[in-house]
Structure 1
Amino acid sequence: MSPSLPPFRWATVSAEGTLWLLRRNCSVSPKQVGWFFAGLCGVSLGVAGFFWSQGATLVLPFTAVELMAVGTAFLVFARHATDRERISLRDGRLVVELEMAGETRRCEFVSQGVRIDTGQGREGLIELRGGGHAVHVGRYLRPDLRPELAREIALALREG
């Protein structure tokens, strides 16, 4: 009989180790935003072109400025839509990978030397420290759920 694994709310436990994958809550993907923006451009430029042909020549430049502003906002959204935190515990190593705006930061700890601090106050992130490194996780969880994630990580570190 195998020992029962501790129940985790956010972790996936397998024979290889324990994995927490925390992502931004996005209702649309960057690809869907791109298609929406293309449709918006087509409609806006079509309406602006009609009014330009009727003699309202300033409509087209203002439409172009508007579409540039909306396009910039959508680009900022799309850059951060796939942000995530990946925390894995495997073979005595705790590995944290933070992906933000397409850039990945990786921090690796020996599991016995990891210290977990829940941040000051309600808005604080979870700080993982050890071996001269520190990383903050939990930004994609509500502040009231972060202590529960910290307990999960601590339990997995003790068990593993």
Structure 2
Amino acid sequence: MSNQTYILAQVSGSAIHWRLKRNCSVTPTQLAWFYLSLCTVSLGIGAFFWSLGATLVLAFAGIEVIVVGLAFLVYARHAADGELISLNGSNLVVELETAGRLERAEFERQWVRVEPKSGDQSLIELSGQGRSIEVGRFVRPEQRQGLAREIRKALRSV
């Protein structure tokens, strides 16, 4: 389960798309199978000791399974989080997905400003026409300035 991020810039015709997301090495389905096997082993050991008279082992195994299940649920809920930045014609569209909630902002290309939020390695703020949105959560801080340059260059190109 890695938290490394990656950027996928894709050019299709006159459109450019940047997909920023976590590099999840375990899919939610694989995680579910792993969790079921963990439950089987842990509760099996607990049941064995319960049959020998150590009744608290099964109770603690049950608590362990519940806590680990909650942690895996939080992980799985955020596994698909990401950002999509699309430049198509005169529009720049930004879509942020966090825990299944989608936030979308649309800007006219000529009015977009691309700036770091507070410093060179902070999130990138895209603003224009009275709206702003921050991107770059899934990009390592030292790579954010390069992403901002890429977006600026694409916005200036005709």
Whether TM-score is above 0.5 comes out as yes
Residues 42-93 of structure 1 deviation map (CA, whole Å, 9 limit, x = unaligned): 1111111111111111111111111111001000000111111000000210
Who is 2:129 aligned against?
131
- TM-fit CA distance, 1:10: 4.1
- TM-fit CA distance, 1:14: 1.2
- TM-fit CA distance, 1:123: 4.2
Q: Secondary structure at the match of 1:58?
A: helix
| Residues 122-131 or 68-77, more deviating | 122-131
Who is 1:105 aligned against?
103
- TM-fit CA distance, 1:147: 0.6
Residues in 2 aligned to 1:65 and 1:51: alpha-carbon distance in whole angstroms: 15
- Give the share of equivalent positions with the same residue, in percent: 54
Tell me if structure 2 keeps the 8 A contact 1:10–1:149.
no
- TM-fit CA distance, 1:122: 4.9
Correspondence 1:146 to 2:125: no
In structure 1, give the amino acid aligned to 2:78: H
Query: How many pairs align?
Result: 152
Q: Provide the TM-score with structure 2 as the length reference.
A: 0.92
Who is 1:13 aligned against?
11
In structure 1, give the amino acid aligned to 2:153: L
- TM-fit CA distance, 1:25: 2.0
Who is 2:46 aligned against?
48
Residues in 2 aligned to 1:56 and 1:41: alpha-carbon distance in whole angstroms: 19
Deviation >4 Å, runs of 4+: none
Q: Which has the higher strand share?
A: 2
Q: Secondary structure at the match of 2:32?
A: helix
Residues in 2 aligned to 1:123 and 1:74: alpha-carbon distance in whole angstroms: 30
Q: Provide the TM-score with structure 1 as the length reference.
A: 0.91
Who is 1:90 aligned against?
88
Superposed CA RMSD in Å reads 1.3
Residues in 2 aligned to 1:122 and 1:48: alpha-carbon distance in whole angstroms: 52
- TM-fit CA distance, 1:16: 4.5
- TM-fit CA distance, 1:19: 0.3
Residue segments in structure 1 that go unaligned for 5+ positions in a row: 1-8
- TM-fit CA distance, 1:118: 1.4
